[in-house]
Chains A and B, each alone.
Chain A
Amino acid sequence: MADETWEEPCGFKAPRRFVPDQREDLSSLVTDGVITRQQLDDAVALAEASHANAAGVLLSQDFVTELQLAVARGKSWGIEAVDLAHERFERDLARRRSGPEYIRRGWLPIRRDTDGRLLVATFFAPTPQLRDEVELELDGQVRFVATSRWALREAVLDIFADYFADHARDALGASDPLLSARKVLSRAQAVGGGALIVAYAVCLVIWTLSTIVWTVAVGSIVFLLATTFKYVVALHGSRYDVVEQLTPAEVEAVDDNALPMYTVLVPVFREANVVARLIANLRTLDYPRHKLEVLVLVEEEDHETRDAITAADPPANFHVLTIPKGTPQTKPRACNVGLAVATGELLVIYDAEDVPDADQLKKAYLAFQRGGEDLVCVQAALSYFNDSENVLTRMFTLEYGFWFYYMLTGLEAARLPIPLGGTSNHFRVSGLRALGGWDPYNVTEDADLGIRASALGYRVGIINSTTLEEANNAFPNFIRQRSRWIKGYLQTSIVHARQPRRLVRQIGWVSFLSFVLLVAGTPITFLGVIPSFVVTFVSIWLEHVTIADLVPAWVMWIMLFNFTVGNAVMIYVNMMGPFKRGQYYLVPWAILNPLYWILHSIAAYKAVWQLVTRPHFWEKTTHGLTTHLSPTERQAPDVERQPAA
């Protein structure tokens, strides 16, 4: 397993050798009339029972604000309280030590005061031990002021914006450049790949038609292998669809007080139209609010979304995290910043339009409890609430049904590497950090992370819980989204093909072949669809004798057999998709799968083109296009949705 790779730019002189004093007397909140005595007593009781702190409980219940808490803390400790958002920082002073460590240690230098002492904000009690630590680190006498946890984190993020930006971009590449998609091809890959392309081009010039036909023939074999593999794995996975892995009774039996802190990351970009929905959706999660931290990750330039969130008046446990400007401007980069400041023991990613099952976090918690330390991630299933909107959303729902309910279950049951889906991946934070977080250069960072986790000896599991999303209902949007996914699969294949022998050693031959067929085979399959259709129809409408002149008849038969059977297999596999959720009316639509795959093929060619011209470009999927209501909107019709830009 990988070691911690999060290098600090400027470490502390000494490690912390004491447990900070977290006692705080919040009775001034009562005397000041902010809360009642009963509210305080209840919060203290709940905090004691659930191993949390009373301040967090009060905040989560919207009884107090961060600033009111800071003031109450200051009063109880006999120091002044400050609002860090309005303080003037001496950045050089603060930057003498590492940003993330300030967050962990709970203090942050602000500036040198007029009396020469250093003004230091803290959210722990300023005990003599803490004073000794700070004075040792800062080489001077200090004066403490009280602040809140979130204010300190925001301040650190602001002061160390460049560090967080660089770190989010480079952490993985710095630990092992070969695992990052920053460089599309390694030197060996560039040389080897170049030689192959030249050889292929020569064949194409000399034996044009034969080369094309043989290419399609080889492609058709890959096509059949990849589709058959999917069928076999999905059939294996379908063994388990009649029994719930985690039952409602087991979820019911979970002791709320024993639950760990959970961080929810929601990367959004230019999605002002759906943030109100996002807040409504996440409010339905069945998890103690004081143990749930929702970080909405908003790019620095995206003022519109930030304003929309503020206007939607989110609950106190929702925090907007501004992602420092930087490249590549991708979701994984934003998630890496979120990971750096997350305080949860467990973490999940949702998209802005996601509607997770209410008990999903508890199911994930149970899965982690049972799965052992090497279980680093569990994936919930994704499905769509607008499945009957048009042909495209129907096909999308069929595909997701097969993938998440059967394919991933089959992969898990066979202990094969699981390429994660884009959202609803729940992580053990320590494991995720040990893995180096997400690759910001990979546009399917989730799939890459799943494979990387397997390579490093971790396991990825699945849980029987569903997140409803909005299916893409427009063709251009669909092609954009698919081209990004296929490009990401190509990136992931290339990254893990750099050291194939190492990968085989790490995960074994069976898992390696599974990876090849699933991750590398998928783009190749899609690339082969249009040529296969063309060759099939050309073969039919030309005299078959002509084709037989070019290639042996048995090659032609294998080619046609593979292509036609491969398509039939994929239709059949897709028919499996709706069974888990009882969407039987979708089954006949699976017959349209060959046409659906032509769209994939178009997207695949776009993906290849982009891999060459704009490898790290994130094709944004527009959300909020559907006219169908999500379950949350149906239950609470007052939730506003604005038209998508």
Chain B
Amino acid sequence: MSSVSPPLEHAGRRARDWHHRLRTRVAPFPLSPGLRWLVRLGFAAPYVVIALLAARGHAGPPSDNDLVYQHVLGIDWSRADVEWVRDLYPPLGMIFATGVMRLIPLGDFGLALLGAAVAGHLGQKTLESMRQRVFPPTAIALFCIALFVNPFTVYLVERSTLLFICIALFALGTDNMTRFIAFRSTRDGFRAGLFFMLAALTDSVGIILVATAAVSSLFLRPGERQERGRRRADLLVIAFPTIGTLALWYFLQWAFGAVPYRLFGIGVTPGELADELEYFYRYGWIVLTTVACICVVALLARRPSIALMTVALAAVYVLALFIGLGHDPSAAGFAVLVLLLLIFYTPEIRPRAVDLALPSVAGLQVAIMWIAGIDDYYLVAWFNAVRDALGG
């Protein structure tokens, strides 16, 4: 890349932007900010329409959003004591939810709109990431369909919004983390740290995702060069914001005499544990098939560490559900998460076999998402409820 600059002072702001772009390695896609917004709108629009339709009649089995709504309604904003602060956990998710559900106030619909906006942004970023990694056009198209045109994602965006936002933030963090490690782009590392922190503060499952990302950062670096302290530095950059924030959260609760919020074992009753086991029996094949897809791509790319990390992530995600850290009644969260990771972990420089495999994997994912989606109890119940409410 050349860094010879034009005579900047005579060329105005446009030239300066061009110069700055030349000096950075990660180009946005599309290049024009206006087009980028159009792409975001394009990704968000279907979800907005579905949210509008769903808002015409509320029905179906209770969803995560309903639980969040109840929680938000129960927050007493006239208090500011330490117990109250504790009950705000996860704080960012509660702030988002309170903002759109109570302050605006749009209730359920507000949260769905927020999910649609995040989906729009995530869509543009995913597209950008696939372009940066020079995915074959067919694979780009199929991955977009697999990720954004399927009942799982729709359900996640509309009915389990905070989990979706958490996954989106985690995925964006992963995208930045891989650039940080592979391209040595410092900015992306420090953005990744922030995204991970936001993910951990949006939904309780985020903590365990971030922990996995932090550990995976140790193995992502190609080992061509030994640099003193580099892996430890990467780990700190990735994990410090999350660890620091949670440590502060706990410290303040401890210091002011409150019983700290219990992260693990929250509300896990034997009955719920049985539910989770049933969940695993029912949806385990999605987890296994998706993980297998990533493993195939990782092995073709000669990056076994990626395969190992994916297996580890799947394991901790399921574990998180078992210990009551997360709530993913439809398996939609996991499916979307793993698909995003498949995209973000795929290295830019890879053997040709990977390029050949990517469209097949993407096509398989489209099929999995639809087959699993139309078989999912929660999804089917919700779609039926929406259809009934619309008089269909």
User: Contact residues of A with B, CB < 8 Å?
Assistant: 235, 238-247, 250, 370-374, 406, 413, 540, 544, 548, 552-554, 556-557, 560, 564-565, 568, 571-572, 575-576, 578-580, 582, 584-588, 590
Contacts and interface: CB of A to CB of B under 8 A. Distances in A.
Contact of A579 (B5, B7, B186): B186
B1 interface: yes
B233 A584 contact: yes
**B interface, size bucket:** 35 or more
A544 B8 CA distance: 58
A244 B24 CA distance: 9
Interface in B166-196: 183-187, 189-191, 193
A578 B233 contact: yes
Contacts of A540: 255-256
Cβ-closest 6 pairs across A and B: A585-B229, A372-B9, A553-B80, A238-B187, A587-B233, A584-B229
Nearest to A543: B257
A584 B230 contact: yes
Contacts of A239: 20, 23-24, 187
B3 A247 contact: yes
B187 A243 contact: no
Given A372-B8, A575-B240, A587-B237, A235 B191 contact: yes
Interface string B1-13: 1011101111000
B57 interface: no
Given A243-B3, A582-B227, A235 B8 contact: no
A193 to B, nearest CB: 35
7 contacts: A240-B20, A240-B23, A241-B187, A554-B80, A568-B245, A568-B248, A582-B227
B56 interface: no
Contacts of B10: 372
Given A242-B184, A244-B3, A564-B252, A572 B244 contact: yes
A588 B187 contact: no
Nearest to A545: B81
Summarize B's interface: helix, strand, loop or mixed: helix
A373 B23 CA distance: 22
Contact of A557 (B20, B80, B187, B233): B80
Contacts of B245: 565, 568
A552 B79 CA distance: 10
Interface of B: 1, 3-5, 7-10, 20, 22-25, 79-82, 85, 183-187, 189-191, 193, 227-230, 232-233, 236-237, 240-241, 244-245, 248, 251-252, 255-257
A371 B251 CA distance: 50
Contacts of B191: 235
Contacts of B9: 371-374
A194 B189 CA distance: 47
A372 B9 CA distance: 6
B190 A238 contact: yes
A413 to B, nearest CB: 6
Given A242-B25, A243-B1, A413-B20, A552 B80 contact: yes
A406 B187 CA distance: 10
Contact of A370 (B7, B23, B230, B248): B7
B24 A553 contact: no
B190 A235 contact: yes
Q: Is the interface of A mostly helix, strand, loop or mixed?
A: helix
Contacts of A584: 227-230, 232-233
A575 B236 contact: yes
Contacts of A588: 229, 232-233, 236
A213 to B, nearest CB: 15
Contacts, number: 116
Contacts of B5: 370
Contacts of A587: 229, 232-233, 236-237
Contacts of B237: 575, 587
Contacts of A247: 3
Given A370-B8, A372-B7, A568-B241, A241 B233 contact: no
A406 B227 CA distance: 21
Nearest to B193: A572
Contacts of A554: 80
A584 B232 CA distance: 8
Contacts of B255: 540
Given A585-B232, A585-B233, A587-B229, 9 more contacts: A239-B20, A239-B187, A242-B184, A245-B23, A544-B256, A560-B252, A575-B236, A575-B237, A582-B227
Contacts of B184: 242
A240 B190 contact: no
A250 B20 CA distance: 18
Contacts of B186: 238, 241-242, 406, 576, 579-580
A560 B252 CA distance: 9
A557 B236 CA distance: 27
A582 B184 CA distance: 10
Contacts of A544: 82, 256-257
Contacts of B25: 242-243
Contacts of A243: 1, 3, 22-25
A564 B7 contact: no
B231 to A, nearest CB: 8
B331 to A, nearest CB: 35
A372 B22 CA distance: 19
A220 B128 CA distance: 39
A582 B229 CA distance: 9
A480 to B, nearest CB: 31
Nearest to B234: A584
A568 B242 CA distance: 10
Nearest to B1: A243
A240 B184 CA distance: 11
Contacts of B189: 579
Contacts of B228: 584-585
A584 B186 CA distance: 12
A572 B82 CA distance: 26
A376 to B, nearest CB: 13
Nearest to A236: B187
A244 to B, nearest CB: 6
A557 B82 CA distance: 9
A578 B3 CA distance: 24
A453 to B, nearest CB: 15
Contacts of B241: 568, 572
Contacts of A244: 3
B20 to A, nearest CB: 6
A384 B23 CA distance: 26
A17 B187 CA distance: 57
B187 A235 contact: yes
A635 B378 CA distance: 72
A436 B186 CA distance: 39
Nearest to B81: A553
Contacts of A240: 20, 23-24
A250 B190 contact: no
A156 to B, nearest CB: 37
A571 B244 contact: yes
A238 B232 CA distance: 20
Contacts of B183: 242
A571 B248 CA distance: 13
A413 B257 CA distance: 46
B248 A557 contact: no
Nearest to B258: A544
A557 to B, nearest CB: 6
A587 B234 CA distance: 9
Nearest to A568: B244
Contacts of B251: 564
Nearest to B244: A568
Contacts of B3: 243-247, 250
Contacts of A552: 80
